[in-house]
């Protein structure tokens, strides 16, 4: 054995190094030896089914499988002996002999091995073959068991990679067959359509329908998913000039070859017939297509006029956290340099802005302190206000995998999310009581002496002041506020403090509150108290909701700071801005989104440009938002689809999708990753960045770049943490995790290992304060909103995808006790009333919510859910209080009779006509 | 006090009518004690009472014999029944003597002496003793028990397990069942000794569901032993904790394979795991686990009690101790035969089995269960021991011996055993999953006269791939009955279509 712990073996005459426990198969493959296989996979544990990888080992009897046999030091292995190959021939013959009538041509891999091992004829006469029905029930893939070789790679993928356990082997011996659920077919099973099984299948028994129709794809490029903030990497497969498949990238540190249904299959909206294809201008109640040049001129003229009459601050730009960094930067540059205002914001305002303000206060930072790979290293995971298996499914699968390897799990959520089944402790708190719960955990840790004294001494400040404050948050007091049993709170606190490496991942259930920033601060206090920060497997890690919510803020599309939250009045920043743009950096702080609505309503704001963000569907208190939009003199909406906001626009511009443009997204672990143009956009569509440049130029302030990489170079120049970023470097691997302070810097996996950006972490004493609305006699139920697996935010993308086959309505989850009191059954329509509005939603009785709390999503604009919500928001960040409002509930009169449900979202289907614009040619 | 009458309540005896005899005797006012069986099943029901020179008994007793039995007429000394007299009974020494669930009986007859000794020994000394005894596993693989225990003891792990493989699935075998039904404390004692040796605190007996009587007895015995401080917390006042539980299988032969057994015990589908890692290092829930057969554990108390040297003095050079053989098939005297390793197969069949019934002529014998080789007459001189059997191309397995007479169709017999594998294959590896079905089809075609000369080449070639590349012993051994039938009875495989 070498002194590095490695062992050395001789395989086919080559000296091969292997790590202890590594199989002969993986070691041989690394050495470039082509050992045949069907059942083995680098993504799965050794299994030993196919026996094609058998080998000869000196001193060992028989032909052991190389995939299950660990390399021993000094081992002499031969993988291609004549006898070995003879056995392989016999095994391929057995496989071919069982292929069923409906199998069609044998899988490519089987044919390849048949010819490699010289198999010409099958010696068996009239062998019994596989005989099964094809399962076509899943919208995206089919299963033809007649081609199956029972290697169980699909079963193992579902178990080991995704952790859903939807697939099993049924029967034994020759009758072994793969079944979904309790042999009910994929659609009716608990399958989440992540596609891991399809990817693993070596014989095309599981195959993508799109590929089957279009033919074998050619992989033409690699890109980053445009859904959630995990930022999965995909190789894009094309056939016949169209994208037919997205294959998750094995080597990616983000998604390690895994994907979810949205990223893997739900990209088909790019080919939706509902895509906007031409700029359109409103003429009365009609929409008239116009040429791009005219559209650009119209914007330039209108914006110039408004600025001339009302000043630059009467204009605002809203960019999209779904757009690229380059586009977000350009929107901010356009507003600041061309218009002369800091009125620029993006959708991050309404999701994790409180995370930023909270983390700023305690650590001086505004992003995840650790990386997704740290989930594999953590000894305990605390998931707060986040439902990763639906909202961030690849991370959710990774968390489940961590639990299976032995990590402890705490879930803090008002709902019984899927992860609760894996959790050591579930603190089912009343929505809006995060601060009390975190202070209570701190109280236990302090009282029981479980804190990290060395860390507190060396790396924190304000402990003494703070510790006085938490004294009164005894578990019993906290139980009164939050409803969390005192003993459970103690258990959670002890587990978190003593694991050795505890990692927090939180979602909008912490930030989207009246006191969201405070919730974040109290959570950060826990990390500082225990020293669970600045090391692998620890930290505070917001799971960012949209693909580029991190980057859109990093590159300065925010009204009160510049890139990387640099101060607007910093002389260095101002000088650099002047030098690069030729214009001064405006000094008046801009309006945050909710402030923009107030400004529009009272006439201070006159013109807006909104890209890729459906404010008229997703912002809270929609009636107010819509009224504000209606007041504008000129509104430009730039989107893939004619969304709700477009209905208030004067001009609508068609946008390019993520596969139609170059750029970068920054995922939730600060990883700046390339988005690559794979196909041309439909004729006549410009990317956002091109449109912005042209409008600026038309306004007499020339802006032009020959490629988005040049925009990134400009960002890097002005952004300390991104100085070392360039497309050349991003293209060389899987992006870069900022801070990348200089050219050769490898990026930062774990932040704050030595010090915090603000020096020492500061314990911030914050008291619990109640949400803006608490249940009353008139409005006795607490409404919590969130999302489901198959949809994403406004649904702009997912509602134009076959994902609609799974879920095509929002539903109201309600506890059975409440439902029976109200006389509601699953499938009924419930009427929800708030002081602001009333809406109707199909009911789904569920034990996921506690009595008194109801839950729904806001993916479907026609339900107008967000009209119910108030404009209440977090003081510091203006992040809206999406997570708590109070409503009254009753059976809706004249039920429309929809919303049947089986509790898994399978039958949550109501066909609705999508609102379409009337187009006059 | 009147005489006591001993009537077995072993399931074989019950099948022969033991319950009826016992009830009749009880109804007539006799004191009846239900005991284990001596294993001479061809004599059951064997009713015994104490005679002047030891137990005397009535064979094939029925209700009609009650009067005779009650007055003590016509009984013969049990010790002099040749089938029993010629055996060397250690593991089954108390078979037929004791009430299976009586802790008193067990102790009076020397029970718990091995464990008591072990409790006073350093764990390593226990393992040294087992190693020195040269005890090899009785489940089939004949792996040295002490080496396995040592591996588990030395393997790092916060939790270790001891598991008894009581999934006695070979048709025609019943020695595990006899221990479970007849002397459950012996198994428990062996397992506790092992637990102390390897540092395990939890144990399971994985019993096949087809043994309801044995399962009931075991559960009752565990409860009583726990109450008496032979199991559970601080066993006999020492620092040893060991909890034991019976787990009932679900009817799959493959779960007798130790890794499939562990998967099943974890609540999963019974599928074979690749080895390494071996269960001794990564077993139940991936923790170090000793998996031994029931008979192996049942032998351990004597090894500790009488000493390693005693055990090592019995048997052949590499097969030490005794082997409980289980005789069945076309034989006069079926039952349990415990003999030292080394006596010939012929002696077992003739001296104990009494040869074949009248009108039947010996044709072949299969030793070691449905995967065992088929031996013709010329191999009857083979001594019963692991190495000689291996040399002769066979296996001893779990000690099942099934005799076939002259009317047996060897092709159909071969087909039958291949069908057994095809039915029982777990379906994990290709050679076994598909190969066994293909081999069965070829044998069917030959049996039905549809065979072609090249089929035998295919069969041999396929068999070789199954033997060499299968994941576990099921696929690896399945070809043996077929190949040996073909080797010793080649003519039968050259048949023409049957005339109809």
- Crossing angle of helices B435-447 and A82-98, in 10° steps, is 80
How is A634-656 classified by DSSP, letter by letter?
A: EEEEEESS--TGGGG-SEEEEPP
Q: What is the residue whose two structure tokens read 């990817």?
A: A199
- Mean pLDDT to the nearest integer, B328-339: 96
Per-residue pLDDT, A102: 78
Q: Which of A17, A647, A766 is nearest to A361 (CA)?
A: A766
- CB-based contact A77:A9 (threshold 8 Å): yes
Residue B499 confidence class, pLDDT cut points 50, 70, 90: low
Angle between helices B175-182 and B212-227 (to 10 degrees): 40
Which of B436, B445, B465 shows the shortest C-beta gap to A87? B465
Q: For chains A and B, count residue pairs whose Cβ atoms are closer than 8 Å.
A: 107
Touching A: B residues 80-139, CB under 8 Å? none
Q: Can you tell me which residue has the tokens 């006790």?
A: A817
Phi, psi of A260 (to 5 degrees): -120, 175
pLDDT for the residue A105: 82
Residue pair B31/B3 in contact by the 8 Å Cβ criterion: yes
Nearest to A463 by CA among A757, A762, A766, A754: A762
Q: Write out chain B residues lying below 8 Å of A94, CB-based.
A: 430-431, 434-435, 438
Average of per-residue pLDDT across B478-500: 87
Q: How far is B293 from chain A (nearest CA, A)?
A: 24
Say whether B429 and A123 touch across the interface (CB within 8 A): no
CA distances (Å), origin B281, targets A219, A331, B151, B271, B276: 44, 61, 7, 18, 9
Q: How many residues does chain A have?
A: 921
B313 Cβ contact partners less than 8 Å away, ≥ 6 residues apart: none
Q: Is the per-residue pLDDT at B103 higher than 50?
A: yes
Nearest alpha carbon to residue A316 among A553, A592, A577: A592
Q: What pLDDT is recorded for position A898? A: 45
CA-based R_g, chain A, Å: 29
Q: What is the pLDDT of residues B279-295, one digit of tens each?
A: 999 999 999 999 999 99
Interface of A with B (CB under 8 A): 46-51, 54, 62-63, 65, 68-70, 86-87, 90-91, 94-95, 97-98, 123-128, 149-150, 152, 168-169, 171-176
pLDDT of residue A100: 87
Integer Cα distance of A515 and A595 in angstroms: 18
pLDDT classification of B196: cutoffs 50, 70, 90: very high
3-state class (DSSP) for residue B494: coil
Q: How confident is the model at residue B82 (pLDDT cuts 50, 70, 90)?
A: very high
pTM of the model: 0.92
How far away is chain A from the Cα of B388, in angstroms, using its nearest Cα?
19
| Cβ–Cβ below 8 Å for A63 and B469 | yes
Phi, psi at A831, each rounded to 5°: -100, 120
- pLDDT for A894 equals 62
Give the pLDDT confidence of B37-65 residue by residue, as tens digits.
999 999 999 999 998 889 999 999 999 99
Question: Which of A46, A87, A126 is opposite residue B469, by nearest beta carbon?
Answer: A87
Q: Report CA dihedral (B83, B84, B90, B95) to the nearest 10 degrees.
A: 120
Backbone phi, psi, residue A838, to 5°: -135, 145
The DSSP bridge partners found for residue A663 are: A675
User: Does B274 lie at the interface with A, CB-CB under 8 angstroms?
Assistant: yes
User: In whole angstroms, what is the distance from residue B139 CA to residue B46 CA?
Assistant: 29
Between CA A738 and CA A683 the distance in angstroms is 36
* Residue B277: cis peptide before it, omega within 30 degrees of 0: yes
What ipTM was estimated for this complex? 0.94
Tokens of B445: 């075609």
Q: Is the dihedral of CA B163, B167, B173, B176 positive or negative?
A: positive
Closest CA to A542 of A560, A561, A527: A527
Which pLDDT does position A839 carry in this prediction?
94
pLDDT in the model for residue A918: 36
pLDDT exceeds 60 at position B1: no
Check if the beta carbon of residue A266 is closer than 8 Å to that of residue A798: yes
| B274 within 8 A of A48, measured Cβ to Cβ | yes
Question: Is residue A173 within 8 Å of B427, Cβ to Cβ?
Answer: yes
Q: In which residue are the tokens 């989104």 written? A: A593
Q: Do B430 and A65 touch (CB under 8 A)?
A: no
B444 touches chain A (CB under 8 A): no
**What is the arithmetic mean of pLDDT over B391-399?**
95
pLDDT of B497 reads: 63
% helix / strand / coil in chain B, to the nearest 5? Answer: 45, 15, 40
Within 10 angstroms of residue B491's Cβ, the number of other Cβ atoms is 7
Interface probe, candidates A55, A150, A174, A179, chain B, greatest B C-beta count within 10 A? A174
B423 interface with A at CB cutoff 8 Å? yes
Distance CA A181, CA A912 (A): 30
B266: closest CA of chain A, how far (Å): 14
Peptide bond into B103 cis (omega under 30): no
Say whether residue B434 is in contact with chain A using an 8 A CB cutoff: yes
CA A97 to CA A124: how far, in whole Å?
7
CA diameter of chain A: 91
Residue A907, pLDDT score:
35
B427 touches chain A (CB under 8 A): yes
Min CA distance, B406 vs chain A (Å)? 31
Q: C-alpha distances in angstroms, A52 versus A63, A67, B315, B490?
A: 10, 10, 42, 32
* CA closest to A65 among chain B residues: B469
B270 pLDDT band, cuts 50/70/90, is very high
Average pLDDT by stretches of 10, chain A with 921 residues? 76 94 95 96 94 96 95 96 97 95 84 95 94 95 96 97 96 95 95 97 95 91 95 95 95 96 95 94 93 96 96 96 94 95 91 91 94 97 97 97 96 97 97 97 98 97 96 97 97 98 96 94 97 97 93 94 93 94 94 95 97 91 94 96 95 95 96 95 86 93 92 95 95 95 94 94 96 94 93 89 91 96 94 93 94 93 88 89 94 59 37 34 33
Q: What pLDDT is recorded for position A101?
A: 82
Which tokens hold the place of A612?
């890729």
Interface test with chain A among B428, B431, B439, B442, by most A beta carbons within 10 Å: B428
* Subunit contact A173:B426, Cβ cutoff 8 A: yes
Residue of chain B whose alpha carbon sits nearest to that of A54: B469
DSSP conformational letter for A169: E
> Using CA atoms, how far apart are residues A713 and B496, in angstroms rounded to an integer?
85
- Helical H runs in A499-570? 508-511, 516-530, 549-554
CB–CB of A7/A16 below 8 Å? no
- CB contact (8 A) between residue B430 and residue A175: no
Closest partner residue to A174 (CB to CB) among B254, B275, B434 is B434
Could you tell me if B462 lies within 8 Å of chain A, comparing CB atoms? yes
pLDDT tier for residue B498 given thresholds of 50, 70 and 90:
low
- Indicate the SS3 state at residue A449: coil
């Amino acid at each position: 054995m070498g002194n590095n712990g490695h062992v050395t073996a001789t395989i086919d005459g080559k000296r091969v190094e292997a790590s202890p426990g590594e199989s002969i198969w993986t070691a041989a493959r690394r050495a470039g030896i082509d050992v045949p296989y069907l059942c083995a996979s680098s993504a799965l544990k050794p299994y030993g089914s196919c026996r094609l990888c058998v080998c000869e080992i000196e001193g060992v009897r028989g032909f052991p499988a190389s995939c299950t046999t660990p390399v021993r030091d000094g081992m002499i292995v031969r993988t291609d002996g004549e006898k070995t190959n003879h056995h392989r021939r016999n095994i391929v013959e057995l496989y071919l002999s069982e292929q069923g009538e409906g199998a069609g041509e044998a899988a490519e891999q089987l044919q390849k091995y048949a010819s490699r091992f010289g198999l010409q004829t099958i010696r068996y006469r009239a062998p019994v073959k596989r005989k099964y029905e094809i399962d076509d029930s899943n919208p995206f893939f089919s299963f033809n068991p007649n081609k199956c070789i029972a290697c169980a790679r699909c079963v193992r993928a579902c178990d080991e990679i995704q952790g859903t356990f939807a697939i099993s082997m049924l029967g034994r011996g020759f009758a072994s067959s793969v079944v979904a659920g309790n042999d009910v077919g994929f659609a009716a099973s608990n399958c989440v359509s992540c596609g891991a099984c399809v990817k693993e299948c070596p014989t095309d028994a599981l195959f993508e329908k799109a590929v089957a129709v279009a033919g074998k794809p050619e992989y033409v490029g690699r890109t980053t998913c445009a859904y959630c903030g995990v930022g999965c990497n995909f190789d894009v497969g094309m056939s016949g000039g169209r994208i037919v498949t997205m294959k998750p990238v094995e080597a990616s540190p983000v998604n390690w070859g895994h994907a979810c249904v949205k990223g893997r299959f739900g990209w088909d909206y790019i080919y939706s017939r509902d895509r906007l294809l031409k700029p359109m201008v409103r003429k009365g109640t009609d929409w008239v297509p116009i040429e791009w040049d005219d559209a650009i001129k119209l914007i330039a003229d209108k914006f110039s006029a408004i600025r001339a009459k009302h000043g630059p601050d009467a204009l605002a730009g809203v960019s999209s956290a779904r757009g690229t960094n380059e586009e977000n930067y350009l929107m901010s540059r356009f507003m600041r340099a061309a218009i002369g205002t800091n009125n620029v914001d993006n959708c991050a305002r309404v999701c994790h802005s409180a995370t930023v303000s909270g983390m700023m206060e305690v650590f001086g930072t505004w992003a995840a302190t650790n990386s997704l790979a740290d989930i594999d290293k953590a000894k305990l995971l605390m998931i707060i206000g986040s439902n990763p298996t639906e909202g961030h499914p690849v991370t959710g699968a990774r968390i489940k995998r961590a639990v299976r390897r032995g990590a402890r799990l705490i879930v803090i959520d008002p709902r019984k999310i899927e992860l609760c089944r894996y959790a050591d402790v579930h603190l089912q708190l009343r929505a809006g009581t995060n601060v009390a719960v975190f202070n209570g955990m701190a109280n236990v840790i302090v009282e029981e002496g479980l804190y990290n004294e060395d860390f507190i001494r060396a790396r924190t400040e304000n402990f003494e002041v703070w510790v006085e404050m938490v004294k009164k948050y005894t578990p019993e007091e906290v139980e009164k506020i939050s409803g969390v049993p005192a003993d459970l709170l103690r258990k959670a606190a002890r587990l978190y403090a003593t694991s050795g490496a505890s990692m927090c991942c939180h979602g909008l259930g912490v930030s989207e509150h009246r006191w969201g920033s405070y919730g974040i601060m109290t959570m950060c206090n826990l990390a500082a108290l225990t020293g669970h920060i600045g090391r692998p497997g620890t930290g505070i890690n917001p799971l960012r909701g949209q693909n580029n919510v991190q980057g859109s803020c990093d590159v300065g599309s925010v009204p009160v700071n510049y890139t990387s939250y640099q101060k607007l009045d910093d002389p260095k920043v101002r000088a650099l801005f002047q030098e690069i743009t030729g214009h001064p950096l405006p000094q008046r702080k801009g309006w945050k989104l909710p402030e923009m609505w107030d400004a529009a309503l009272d006439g201070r704001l006159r013109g807006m440009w909104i890209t890729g963000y459906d404010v008229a569907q997703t912002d809270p208190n929609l009636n107010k938002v819509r009224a504000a939009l209606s007041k504008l003199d000129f509104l430009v909406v730039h989107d893939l689809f004619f969304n709700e906001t477009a209905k208030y626009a004067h001009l609508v511009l068609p946008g390019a999708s993520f596969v139609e443009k170059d750029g970068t997204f920054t995922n939730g672990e600060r990883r700046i990753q390339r988005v690559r143009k794979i196909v041309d956009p439909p004729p006549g569509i410009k990317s956002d960045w091109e449109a912005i440049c042209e409008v600026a130029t038309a306004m007499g302030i020339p802006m032009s770049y020959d490629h988005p990489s040049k925009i990134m170079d400009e960002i890097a120049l002005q952004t300390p943490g991104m100085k070392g970023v360039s497309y050349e470097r991003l293209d060389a691997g899987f992006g870069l995790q900022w801070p990348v302070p200089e050219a050769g810097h490898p990026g930062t996996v774990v932040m704050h290992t030595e010090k915090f950006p603000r020096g020492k972490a500061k314990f911030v004493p914050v008291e619990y304060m109640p949400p803006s609305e608490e249940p009353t006699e008139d409005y006795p139920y607490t409404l919590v909103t969130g999302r489901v697996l198959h949809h994403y935010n406004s649904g702009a993308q997912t509602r134009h995808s076959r994902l609609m086959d799974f879920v095509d309505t929002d539903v109201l989850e309600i506890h059975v006790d409440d439902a029976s009191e109200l006389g509601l059954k699953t499938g009924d329509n419930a009427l929800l009333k708030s002081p602001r509005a009333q809406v109707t939603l199909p009911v789904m009785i569920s034990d996921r919510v506690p009595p008194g709390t109801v839950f729904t999503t806001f993916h479907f604009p026609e339900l107008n859910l967000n009209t119910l919500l108030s404009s209440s928001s977090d003081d510091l960040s203006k992040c809206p209080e999406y997570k708590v409002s109070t409503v009254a509930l009753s059976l809706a009169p004249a039920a429309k009779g929809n919303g049947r449900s089986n509790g898994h979202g399978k039958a949550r289907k109501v066909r609705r006509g999508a609102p379409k614009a009337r187009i006059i040619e | 006090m009147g005489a006591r009458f001993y009537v077995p309540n072993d399931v074989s005896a019950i099948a022969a009518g033991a319950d009826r005899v016992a009830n009749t005797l009880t109804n007539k006012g006799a004191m009846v004690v239900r005991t284990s069986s001596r294993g001479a099943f061809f004599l059951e029901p064997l009713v015994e009472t104490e005679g002047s020179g030891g137990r005397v008994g009535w064979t094939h007793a029925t209700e009609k014999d009650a009067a005779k039995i009650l007055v003590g007429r016509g009984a013969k000394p049990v010790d002099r029944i040749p089938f029993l007299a010629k055996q060397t009974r250690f593991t089954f020494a108390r078979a037929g003597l004791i009430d299976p669930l009586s802790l008193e009986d067990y102790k009076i007859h020397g029970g718990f002496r091995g464990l008591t000794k072990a409790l006073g020994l350093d764990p390593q000394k226990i393992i040294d003793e087992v190693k020195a005894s040269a005890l090899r596993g009785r489940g089939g693989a004949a792996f040295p028990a002490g080496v396995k225990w040592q591996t588990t003891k030395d393997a790092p792990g916060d939790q270790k397990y001891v598991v008894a493989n009581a999934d006695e699935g070979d048709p025609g075998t019943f020695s595990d069942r006899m221990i479970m039904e007849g002397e459950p404390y012996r198994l428990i004692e062996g397992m506790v000794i092992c637990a102390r040796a390897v540092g395990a605190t939890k144990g399971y007996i994985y019993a096949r569901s087809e043994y309801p009587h044995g399962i009931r007895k075991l559960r009752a015995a565990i409860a009583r032993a726990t109450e008496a401080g032979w199991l559970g917390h601080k066993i006999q006042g020492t620092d040893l904790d060991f909890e034991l539980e019976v787990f009932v299988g679900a009817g799959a032969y493959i779960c007798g394979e130790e890794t499939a057994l562990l998967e099943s015990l974890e609540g999963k589908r019974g599928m074979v795991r690749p080895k390494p890692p071996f269960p001794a290092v990564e077993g139940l829930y991936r923790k170090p686990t000793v998996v031994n057969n029931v008979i192996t554990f049942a032998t351990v108390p004597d090894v500790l009690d009488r000493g390693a040297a005693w055990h090592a003095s019995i048997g052949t050079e590499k097969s030490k101790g005794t082997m409980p053989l289980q005789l069945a098939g076309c034989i006069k005297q079926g039952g349990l035969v415990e003999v030292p390793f080394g006596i010939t197969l012929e002696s077992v069949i003739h001296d104990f089995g009494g040869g074949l019934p009248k009108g039947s002529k010996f044709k072949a014998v299969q030793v070691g269960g449905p995967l065992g080789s088929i031996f013709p007459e010329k191999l009857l001189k083979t001594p019963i021991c692991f190495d000689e059997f291996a040399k002769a191309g066979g296996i001893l397995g779990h000690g099942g011996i099934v005799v076939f007479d002259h009317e047996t169709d060897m092709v159909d017999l071969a087909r039958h055993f291949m069908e057994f594998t095809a039915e029982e294959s777990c379906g994990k590896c290709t050679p076994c999953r598909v190969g066994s079905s293909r081999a069965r089809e070829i044998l069917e075609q030959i049996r039905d006269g549809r065979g072609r000369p090249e089929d035998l080449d295919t069969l041999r070639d396929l068999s070789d791939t199954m033997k060499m590349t299968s994941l576990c012993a099921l696929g690896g051994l399945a070809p043996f009955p077929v190949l040996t039938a073909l080797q010793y009875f080649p003519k039968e495989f050259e048949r023409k279509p049957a005339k109809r």
